[in-house]
Chains A and B, each alone.
Chain A
Amino acid sequence: MIRFALAGNPNSGKTTLFNALTGSTAHVGNWPGVTVDKKEGTYKKCAEPISIVDLPGIYSLSPYTPEEVISRNFILDEKPDCVINIVDVTNLERNLYLTTQLMEIDVPVVIALNMMDELTKRGDKIDAKALEEKIGLPVVEISALRGKGMAELMDRAYEASKTSRKAKTVLEKTALIHLINDCRIALSGQKVDNALFHAIKLVEMDEIEVKMHPDSANMVEEFKEGFHDELFGNDFEALVADSRYKYIVAYFSSTLTKKPREVTELTKSEKIDRVFTHKFIGIPLFFIILFAVFHLTFSENLLWLGAGPLAEWVSCEGTAFEGVFGDGGLASPGVILFNLLDLATASLGEAIAGAMEASGIAEWLIGLVCDGIFGGIFAVLSFLPQILLLFLFFSLLEDSGYMARVAFMLDKIFRKFGLSGRAFMPMIMGFGCSVPAMINTRTLANENERTATIRIIPFFSCSAKLPILTAVAGGIMQVFGVGNADLITYGMYVVGIVLALVCVILMRATTMKGEIPPFIMELPDYHSPQFRNLMLHLWDKAKHFIKKAFTIILVSTIIIWVISHFSWTWNFLGDEEIDQSILAGLGGLIQPLFTPLGFGSQLGAMGWVFAVGAITGLIAKENVIATFGTLAACIIAGFEGTEEGVAEVSVMIQATGATIPAMISFIVFNMTTIPCFAAVAAAKGELGSKKKFNFTLLFWIVASYVTSSMIYLIGSWWWTTFIIIAVWAVVIALLVLYNKGKLDLTSLKDLFKKVKTKAKKSSGCGCGCDGCAMKDSCSSQKKN
């Protein structure tokens, strides 16, 4: 099948064009090694089906961002049959800058002049014929939004793909052309494809090219010494970029006739921005929008209507839908969808259980299928409506161009932590659900920034963790008669945020050193988001999530179900007999590990309940409360719990004698440790590399463990504060010294390496052999 690549600037309408051409045939994957979307689809309305690859949105073929390198390598190495270069005609000069680089590659290029309708609306005109003549590439006018010009574009591209095109450059009349030609000839002599492109990049002293062709790079260096330009000296990179823009302005811009207007005249976007990025109302307005998004997704009391005739009417008392649309208040769309799905899965589960019981299948098998498999899937899928809704709202904000403004407004704060303003979005989304938050990190340009953000997202306590907070806080109040549940809950959110900030600072100081990424960003024009694009995007995410729910999440939940419902002797146990299960045994086994956190060995024989609660929380954080119910029933036979889990926690506290600091440490541990399997799966997908993923898991465990034990220690013995402060002071001092280069760890590293290689070499006795039956007598032989 012949293959076309779609290349163009971000915000040029590339996604819209791709969706218009490929429709439902598109599938999304990752480019190898990086988490940048790779979209592929098929166009069927030509003489033969054409595969279309959507390259990432780029401004240039420079070697600096992963997107640029991917696009460059794809066009050079994979040799598509044609490149469709989408050009936003309302932003002609900057868009053609990329075109001037694409035409230096030996590949047919067709220019799609997009947003023609927008241009007409502005009262401007372009002479496409004249542009085609001047640029020497086929030019087609289209409007991807209205689906206009698609057939003509593809016909011209198809035609072009059947011919071959020789590369040419707009640098022909510059002082550098002799050097470029010399390099090109030298590279051609070495049988390098696309010699002209490589030659120009070499002249620019592009990192990738210099590494690839060191000989020719030397030639450029020599030439540089004798060269002097009035304005640029011998800075070829600047000279080349400047020449490109000069050429564009001189030859191509003239095809565009603009309606005369003042430089200071405001466009539509600028008028909108007078409000949205206003000095005083800009940031408050953003928080109101953010609140509205969360309110519409998670609120159970929409617009605080509260109880009243409307609430009564929507509660549907006595029908099957009782409480679905609201219980003492109108539910938000997110909660309604959640309840509806919950209702459907519960009925389905009951139907399956009923059918299985009727057919007389073994009890454990019913348990496995209904509670283990379906229960697990339903628990994960129950989040899907709210995840997607949250995702929809944020995509709306992203596509409309508003998110770029948010980054613009908040950059100053986040720069201090080595992040850009964009990182704020996924963090805030984390308060709703970690899964869409982690997926949203894709909008971050910098790899380090993305990894750091993914790692701290779970610290922004998600909506599913709130029940744990309120249950334990309620339990503390009930048993000890102190404290204020709201205050504890609020305090926990603050602990999470502080921990996140501390971790970012620590990461930037150790494993993620390096300069703060630049913030030179386009603020695209506001435009109404495309319904079709949004739905396709949402469908991709849903598909992805469902696939994960049925693979790694399913396997994990089944394992936890099995170990909580079988004893070591492989007997099936009912829910109330969880104390004899493998899980309880494992809980008892790892219980000592939690001693520094306050809910370990000091709690005695029943102490394993907290360990078990933490483990089941991995399936979904809601599970912790459900597990508390079964655990409390183990402690007091026939115990009837409440929905909020407060009574359960009280029973557990009384049975184990846990202290207040221990319980607070328990909440913090659950909040900050490894998130649910769904979020873990999302992190795995977004982090890309396995090494990073493993390190992230370790990071979560260590961060939660250290924080919780600190809270327990300080809470139990106030004087430990001084020890902890002292330890941190030493750690920070060492870090500062290390970063200033005053602490040399290389000798330590070398030592470590030596020990490691030695240990590898001699798994036997240390003589260098591979270890053998004579292991014990080996050293004596050596002596002899």
Chain B
Amino acid sequence: MKEKRLSEYKIGEYGKVKIVEGEGKIRRRLFDMGVTPSADIIVRKRAPLGDPIEITIRGYELTLRESEASVVIMEGRK
């Protein structure tokens, strides 16, 4: 399946993390929170104002901004 950024995912869409781009603090924070390659992510919802988004990863709820989600490259499930 085609590669896509996490920020482009629609509500209810799910897939696996392929790679995390970006650098420094934000990237490290994403790693520490479990957003690493091959982790399963499902997009749960968007905030009432459209941003940030809420995802389920490794069995818990995580929220991040669209700009931060755009560094996460996803691959769809086969």
Interface of A toward B, CB cutoff 8 Å: 59-60, 62, 64, 90-94, 97, 231, 237-238, 241-242, 245-246, 263-264, 269-270, 273, 277-280, 282-283, 404, 408-413, 415, 518-525
* Chain B proximity of A86: nearest CB distance (Å): 16
Please give me the residue from chain B that is nearest to A204 by CB atom: B28
- Does residue B1 face the partner (Cβ distance < 8 Å to A)? no
Q: Which residues of A contact B42 (CB under 8 A)?
A: 263-264
Mask of B24-47 contacts with A, CB within 8 angstroms, 1/0: 011111111110111110101111
A-B contact pairs, 26 of them (CB 8 A): A60-B32, A64-B25, A64-B28, A91-B59, A91-B60, A94-B34, A97-B32, A97-B34, A237-B27, A237-B31, A238-B20, A245-B36, A277-B54, A279-B48, A280-B48, A408-B47, A408-B54, A411-B47, A412-B49, A412-B51, A518-B29, A518-B65, A519-B65, A520-B63, A521-B62, A522-B61
8 Å CB contact of B28 from A237, A242, A525: A237
* Chain B proximity of A207: nearest CB distance (Å): 10
CA distance A270 to B51 in the complex (A): 18
**A64-B29, A411-B65, A520-B30 given as contacts; is B47 within 8 A of A94 (CB)?**
no
CA distance A409 to B28 in the complex (A): 24
8 Å CB contact of B33 from A94, A279, A408: A94
* Chain A proximity of B62: nearest CB distance (Å): 6
Please give me the residue from chain B that is nearest to A415 by CB atom: B65
Q: Which residues of B contact A522 (CB under 8 A)?
A: 33, 60-63
Contact A277 B20 (CB under 8 A): no
Please give me the residue from chain A that is nearest to B25 by CB atom: A64
8 Å CB contact of A412 from B27, B36, B50, B58: B50
**A64-B25, A238-B20, A519-B68 given as contacts; is B31 within 8 A of A93 (CB)?**
no
Contact A238 B31 (CB under 8 A): yes
Contact B58 A93 (CB under 8 A): yes
* Chain B proximity of A763: nearest CB distance (Å): 46
8 Å CB contact of A523 from B46, B58, B61: B61
Please give me the residue from chain B that is nearest to A61 by CB atom: B32
Interface of A is mostly: helix
Interface of B is mostly: mixed
CA distance A685 to B51 in the complex (A): 34
Q: Which residues of B contact A415 (CB under 8 A)?
A: 65
Q: Which residues of B contact A412 (CB under 8 A)?
A: 47, 49-52
Q: Which residues of A contact B14 (CB under 8 A)?
A: 263
CA distance A270 to B48 in the complex (A): 15
CA distance A250 to B52 in the complex (A): 32
Q: Which residues of B contact A94 (CB under 8 A)?
A: 33-34, 58-60
Extra pairs beyond A245-B36, A518-B26, A523-B63 (9, CB < 8 Å): A64-B25, A64-B29, A93-B58, A94-B34, A241-B31, A411-B47, A518-B25, A520-B26, A523-B61
Q: Which residues of A contact B27 (CB under 8 A)?
A: 237-238
CA distance A91 to B39 in the complex (A): 14
Please give me the residue from chain A that is nearest to B39 by CB atom: A245
Please give me the residue from chain A that is nearest to B29 by CB atom: A520
Query: Sorted from nearest, which 3 A-B pairs have the closest CB atoms?
Result: A241-B31, A60-B32, A523-B61
* Chain A proximity of B35: nearest CB distance (Å): 8
Please give me the residue from chain A that is nearest to B19 by CB atom: A231
Interface centre among B27, B46, B52, B62 (most CB of A within 10 A): B52
CA distance A493 to B54 in the complex (A): 34
Contact B45 A277 (CB under 8 A): yes
Q: Which residues of A contact B36 (CB under 8 A)?
A: 238, 241-242, 245-246
Q: Which residues of B contact A97 (CB under 8 A)?
A: 32, 34
Please give me the residue from chain B that is nearest to A280 by CB atom: B48
Interface centre among B34, B48, B52, B59 (most CB of A within 10 A): B48
CA distance A522 to B33 in the complex (A): 8
* Chain B proximity of A238: nearest CB distance (Å): 7
* Chain A proximity of B60: nearest CB distance (Å): 5
Contact A242 B52 (CB under 8 A): no
CA distance A245 to B20 in the complex (A): 14
Q: Which residues of A contact B12 (CB under 8 A)?
A: 264
Contact B32 A93 (CB under 8 A): no
Q: Which residues of B contact A241 (CB under 8 A)?
A: 28, 31-32, 36
Contact A411 B62 (CB under 8 A): no
Q: Which residues of B contact A263 (CB under 8 A)?
A: 14, 40, 42
Contact B62 A523 (CB under 8 A): yes
CA distance A684 to B45 in the complex (A): 40
Q: Which residues of A contact B63 (CB under 8 A)?
A: 404, 408, 519-523
* Chain A proximity of B16: nearest CB distance (Å): 12
